[in-house]
Structures are given as structure tokens and as C-alpha cells.
Amino acid sequence: MISIKTIKILAFLTIIPLLLNACNGIPGADARKYPKDPKKRVEQNLAEGRGFTLNDTFGNTGKGGTFDFASSNELWRASLDVIDFMPLSSVNYSGGIIITDWYSDGQNINESIKISIRFLTNEIRSDALDIKIFTRKCTNNLMNCKITETNKVLVTELTKEILKKAATYEKEKVAKRKKARKK
């Protein structure tokens, strides 16, 4: 009677030659047949039908694509720049939220603020941000604290400052693009 171990070995030995034959020999290639420059290798591979691109399929024939990195989002950068004096508790670009830790200016240690900024859109407009500012007032050396959401005056000022800085970043980006196109 044939054991299971023997069957596994025979199956393995039967499949390996088929897989190696499909690869047209041993992996690796003669480096002398291919150009050293990666761009030329890509062009050669595409010309020989050994590769594909998705740019033409999706209508993106220009350089690059659309990337949503934190450094390319003016609202995000402006928000971080405006509240850069505060310690950050949680920052999540993909979730679109910045939360600071409790901050006190040092004059009154029993009073501190916390800011939460939610990004509703990447466009620079007045309704793009949902900002909440909380005030914590403590008595008895931070033992008995009361937390309240602050009035809208500080929220409005913070929103205005972030939008101004974001608009400045946007103008700089447009000017940089125009300068790059002229070259």
C-alpha cells in the first residue's frame, strides 16, 4: 500500500517540472540584453508586450496623477501651522481630524483649552472645517474640572486664520505651477 507521504512526493515531483517549463527555464535574464536605464527598460518591455499601463485605460495621459498627501493639502497644512504651538493628541489625515491635547498658556494653570478640527472637504471654503474648542476649568489642583464648549467667536477667528493661510498656500502652489510650465 502506498503511503500518503509517497503520494505527496510524487505529486510534488510531477508538478515542479510543469511549473519550471512554464517559466521557460531558470529565472533570471542576461543583463547584457537589457538597457541599464529603467525608463528605457520599461519602454522596451512595453514595446515587446511584456507590460501594461493603466494610464491610457483611465484617460490619464499627462504626467503623474492625483495624490492626496497631507503635504499637498493646503487646508491641512494651514491648520497644523495655525495650531503648531499646541501639543497634538491625535492626528489622522485619512480620517480628516486633528485633536490637540489640553493646552494652558501658563498664566492660569487651572484653565486650559482643547481644539478639535474636522475636515469636511479639501476645498478652501468657509464650510470646509468643523472646529470645536473646549475649555476646561479646574478647582482644587485639577481635581474638580468642568469642561464646556467655547463660544463661536474663537472658532470664527481660528477658521478665518486657517482659511487665510490655506489661501496663501494655494496661491503659492499656483504660482509655482505657472513658473514650472514656463520652463
CATH of residue 106's domain is: 3.30.530
Flag whether 154 is in a domain: yes
Task: Say whether both 40 and 108 belong to one domain.
Answer: no
Three-state SS at 63: coil
Mean predicted confidence (pLDDT) in 100-121: 90
Residue 132: inside a domain, yes or no? yes
- Please tell me which residue, 120 or 66, carries the higher pLDDT value: 120
Residues 99, 37 share a domain = no
**134, 105 in Cβ contact below 8 A?**
no
Q: What is the pLDDT of residue 166?
A: 93
Range of the domain at 31: 4-47
Mean pLDDT calculated for residue range 170-175: 89
Closest CA to 114 of 138, 95, 143, 141: 138
Chain CA centroid to CA 153, Å: 31
Sign of the torsion formed by the C-alpha atoms of 28, 30, 34 and 38: positive
Q: How confident is the model at residue 115 (pLDDT cuts 50, 70, 90)?
A: very high
Q: d(Cα 115, Cα 132) in Å, to the nearest integer?
A: 6
Count Cβ neighbours within 10 Å for each residue of 129-139 and write b for 16 or more, e otherwise. bebebebbebe
Residue 49, pLDDT score:
59
Percent of the chain with pLDDT over 70: 77
pLDDT for 41: 74
| Residue 63 lies inside a defined structural domain of this protein | no
Is residue 115 situated within a structural domain? yes
| Mean pLDDT calculated for residue range 24-37 | 65
14 in any annotated domain: yes
- Specify the higher pLDDT residue, 38 or 168: 168
43 with 78, same domain: the answer is: no
Domain count, the chain: 2
Q: What is the pLDDT of residue 47?
A: 67
The lowest-confidence range among 30-44, 45-59, 75-89, 127-141 is 45-59
40 and 76 share one domain: no
Over its C-alpha atoms, the chain yields an Rg (Å, rounded) of 30
